[in-house]
Chain A
Amino acid sequence: MKHLEIRRHTMRHKPGKHLTQAGVTLARHVGAGMGPFARVVTSDVPRAFETAIAMGFAVDEQLPELAALEDEAVTALLENVHTFADVAQVARRHQAVARRARKLARLWTTIAEALPEEAAALIVTHGGVIELGVAGCLPDHDFSAWGALCDYCEGVRLGFDGRAFISAEPLRVVKVEGS
């Protein structure tokens, strides 16, 4: 089995591009319990790259496709969702959202296929992208017990059997002092 660990970036100086010190502390705390990873991929946005670095992992590749939902209609449809189950439901009801979900799933499948057996990859990306990508990878999954959308450094661990994603678990973060 291969695995993808997909995490949201940590906190940044808004509207600036770079991480806050609390963001670095949180990413270091979370990163200490992660890995090893055969491949590390982030979006091309500095806060995603910097999160991987703060977690303790050098970045192999930066992909702009991981940076955003790409489509204003998709962004609008996902504006008022609060849970993984909400995102999955919107993806089932709206073609544009389903297409974006499938596109993310294809990208993640490509990353998983390129991994050696029993290896894992880390993907650092953004809120919305994670939840939609998971809905694309597991379109029939029941997300009712998964709870809220990903907070900073939270994410999902997906199992890949060489052909498809067959397992998934949400990765939650217990906040540390200073984060």
Chain B
Amino acid sequence: MAPVALRNVQDRPSDLNLSVQADVVLAQIPDDIDAVRAGDMGLARAWREATRAVFTAYFARGYRAIDFIRRRGYVLRHLTPDS
């Protein structure tokens, strides 16, 4: 499995790592963000802040989201200008 920049541990954001060095990086998300939002707005906000941190950092380093995998998360790949 690809290294993980953000983990989903029992629907809570965990192990935020903004400096993974790999071609492919995984950012995990809750299985059902709507359920999280309905049950705990504070937790939903924490997820948005964590994902914002991940995407801001990795996009700035040349990564782009190339896939969204149900129950696994977002797949970020480091792209060259031509890819």
Residues of A within 8 A of B (CB): 16-19, 21, 24, 28, 44, 46, 50, 53-54, 56-62
The interface residues of chain B lying within 8 Å CB-to-CB of A21 are 67
In the complex, chain B residues whose CB is within 8 Å of the CB of A53:
51, 55, 65, 74
* Further 17 A-B residue pairs, CB within 8 A, beyond A44-B37, A58-B51, A58-B55: A16-B70, A24-B65, A24-B66, A24-B67, A28-B65, A50-B65, A50-B68, A50-B74, A53-B65, A53-B74, A54-B65, A54-B68, A56-B64, A59-B48, A59-B51, A59-B52, A59-B55
A residues in contact with B65, CB < 8 Å = 24, 28, 50, 53-54, 56
Which residue in B51, B52, B66, B68 is a CB contact (below 8 Å) of A18?
B68
For residue B33, CB closer than 8 A to chain A, the reply is: yes
B27 CB to nearest chain A CB (Å): 9
Whole-angstrom CA separation of A169 from B34 in the bound complex: 34
> Number of contact residues on B: which range applies?
10 to 19
Bound-state CA distance A54–B56 (Å) is 12
Residue of A50, A57, A58, A59 with most partner-chain B CB within 10 A: A58
Q: How far is the CB of A119 from chain B (nearest CB, A)?
A: 17
Q: Using CB atoms, name the residue of chain B closest to A31.
A: B64
Q: Mark B11-46, 1 if CB is under 8 A from A, else 0.
A: 000000000000000000000011001000000000
23 A-B residue pairings within 8 Å (CB atoms): A16-B70, A18-B70, A21-B67, A24-B68, A28-B65, A28-B66, A46-B33, A46-B34, A50-B65, A50-B68, A50-B74, A53-B51, A53-B74, A54-B64, A56-B64, A58-B51, A58-B52, A58-B55, A58-B56, A58-B59, A59-B55, A60-B52, A62-B48
